[in-house]
Amino acid sequence: MVSGFRLRRRRGTGWGPGSLILAALALAGCGRAEQFPQTVFDPAGPVARIQLDLLMRTLYLVIGIFILVAGVLLYVVFRYRERPGAGDPEQIHGNTQLEMAWTIAPIVALAFIAVPTVRANFAVAEPPPESDPLVVRAVGHQWWFEFQYPDLGVITANELHIPVGRPVKLLLDSEDVIHSFWVPRLAGKTDMIPGYQNTMWIQADEPGTYYGQCAELCGASHAKMRFRVIAVSEEEFQAWVERMQTYTVDVSSSALAARGMELFREKGCFACHAIAGTEFQNRVGPDLTGVGSRTTIAAGTLANTRENLSRWLADPPAIKPGSKMPNLGLKPDEIEALVEFLHSLK
Ligand SMILES: [Cu+2]
């Protein structure tokens, strides 16, 4: 007999209706941003929406074609299966009508996909022509992100501040290997290639924090190369820009923070880190201007608490394998002073 019938009678495979319901519930959960901050199924801006819309259109069309083709195939397999006593079927060669049909049908199907694809490609390539985009140069480093605002003279790291409702044009570069810029709720990924500048744009509809992640395997700590996009109102954004542009460091009120600032020089931190409003202006590692206000440290790896900052300073490669910030052999009292200093940089 046909083995399909035997399969249907088999019992106890464990894939009953219960597991189907569970799978459906699990899939439904994928869409929720509160649970999965890096979901593409809950777009928060026009670029991500255009991309999801294209994905769903294509998916529905393809599901329709699959059901049609699989249906015809199953029908033919059962309707024309070999029966005892039946002779050979009629032998034919070529069928112009059929051949025309299966040439034209795919062309029509591809046209249905091609037109919206080309339209979406243009829409996500550049911000709308009349808009006044904010320009940000995003630079990938092993394993953190640098954000430069060339028109504003502001540089920051790992947290990209943007105003809501305004397109942000991103100039993507890399300092070392190929990285990829990806904020799933705002836009699909685009590679950051050394020596070649890619561009993309994003826009957030609502204030909020959007999670980003490097999406191109780039070395030992690739998985710990994350960032956040912090979208705020235009007024709050202007206030942040002004604070960054006029940044000053004042440690006169705390002896411990003042000691931390001294250690920043003595221990050579300044060789890699810049802080606006000071003489520290080297940018091998993340710019630390306002680091006390960041939500995370080490590119989204740890929450920015005193305890975590101490752990980071004590042994960076233990937290991020291969970290380009070496273990500087700091003593506990030195770490304490440095943490006090860094957290005073609001
Ligand atoms: Cu990377």
| CA of 20 relative to ligand 1 center, distance in Å | 37
Regarding whether 212 and 72 lie in a shared domain, the answer is yes
Residue 173 vs residues 123, 202, 211, 229: alpha-carbon distances, Å: 22, 16, 20, 17
Q: Is the dihedral of CA 312, 314, 316, 319 positive or negative?
A: negative
Q: What is the pTM of this model?
A: 0.88
Regarding whether 196 and 315 lie in a shared domain, the answer is no
| CA of 220 relative to ligand 1 center, distance in Å | 10
Residue 163 in contact with residue 133, Cβ under 8 Å? no
33 part of a folded domain: no
3-state DSSP call for residue 132? coil
Residue 345 in contact with residue 297, Cβ under 8 Å? no
Structure tokens at 235: 């007024």
| CA of 146 relative to ligand 1 center, distance in Å | 12
Regarding whether 289 and 206 lie in a shared domain, the answer is no
| CA of 192 relative to ligand 1 center, distance in Å | 9
Residue 129 in contact with residue 142, Cβ under 8 Å? no
The C-alpha atoms of residue 115 and residue 99 are separated, in whole angstroms, by: 25
Regarding whether 224 and 298 lie in a shared domain, the answer is no
250 part of a folded domain: no
233 part of a folded domain: yes
Regarding whether 335 and 286 lie in a shared domain, the answer is yes
**Would you state the pLDDT for residue 264?**
98
Q: What is the rounded radius of gyration, in angstroms, for the C-alpha atoms of the chain?
A: 28
| CA of 178 relative to ligand 1 center, distance in Å | 7
Q: State pLDDT tens for residues 216-250.
A: 999 999 999 999 999 999 999 999 999 999 999 99
Half-sphere exposure of 148 (CA within 13 A, CB side): 11
Q: What is the CATH number of the domain that holds 281?
A: 2.60.40.420
1 part of a folded domain: no
Q: Considering 216, 241, 266, which residue would you say is the last residue of a domain? A: 241
Of 164, 206, 210, the residue nearest 187 (C-alpha): 210
The DSSP string of 220-234 is: TTGGG-EEEEEEE-H
Helices in 210-331 by DSSP H: which ranges?
234-245, 255-266, 306-314, 316-319
Regarding whether 267 and 334 lie in a shared domain, the answer is yes
- Number of domains within the chain: 2
337 part of a folded domain: yes
| CA of 316 relative to ligand 1 center, distance in Å | 17
246 part of a folded domain: no
- Which residues of the chain are modeled with pLDDT < 70? 1-31
294 class by beta-carbon count within 10 Å (0-12 exposed, 13-18 middle, 19+ buried): buried
Regarding whether 276 and 195 lie in a shared domain, the answer is no
**By residue range, what is the domain housing residue 274?**
255-344
Q: Considering 241, 275, 304, which residue would you say is the last residue of a domain? A: 241
320 class by beta-carbon count within 10 Å (0-12 exposed, 13-18 middle, 19+ buried): buried
Residue 277 in contact with residue 306, Cβ under 8 Å? no
Q: Facing residues of 156 across strands?
A: 147
27 part of a folded domain: no
Of 324, 314, 252, 327, the residue nearest 306 (C-alpha): 314
Residue for token pair 């705020």: 232
Regarding whether 237 and 135 lie in a shared domain, the answer is yes
| CA of 210 relative to ligand 1 center, distance in Å | 18
264 part of a folded domain: yes
| CA of 274 relative to ligand 1 center, distance in Å | 22
Regarding whether 288 and 230 lie in a shared domain, the answer is no
Regarding whether 151 and 293 lie in a shared domain, the answer is no
Regarding whether 220 and 259 lie in a shared domain, the answer is no
**Would you state the pLDDT for residue 90?**
86
| CA of 217 relative to ligand 1 center, distance in Å | 6
| CA of 312 relative to ligand 1 center, distance in Å | 20
Residue 269 in contact with residue 337, Cβ under 8 Å? no
| CA of 135 relative to ligand 1 center, distance in Å | 21
Q: Considering 208, 241, 274, which residue would you say is the last residue of a domain? A: 241
3-state DSSP call for residue 191? strand
**Would you state the pLDDT for residue 3?**
41
Check residue 303 and report its DSSP letter. E
| CA of 67 relative to ligand 1 center, distance in Å | 40
Regarding whether 278 and 150 lie in a shared domain, the answer is no
| CA of 174 relative to ligand 1 center, distance in Å | 9
The C-alpha atoms of residue 179 and residue 193 are separated, in whole angstroms, by: 7
The DSSP string of 203-226 is: --SSSEEEEEEE-S--STTGGG-E
**Would you state the pLDDT for residue 315?**
98
| CA of 326 relative to ligand 1 center, distance in Å | 19
| CA of 183 relative to ligand 1 center, distance in Å | 13
| CA of 259 relative to ligand 1 center, distance in Å | 35
| CA of 221 relative to ligand 1 center, distance in Å | 8
**Would you state the pLDDT for residue 29?**
55
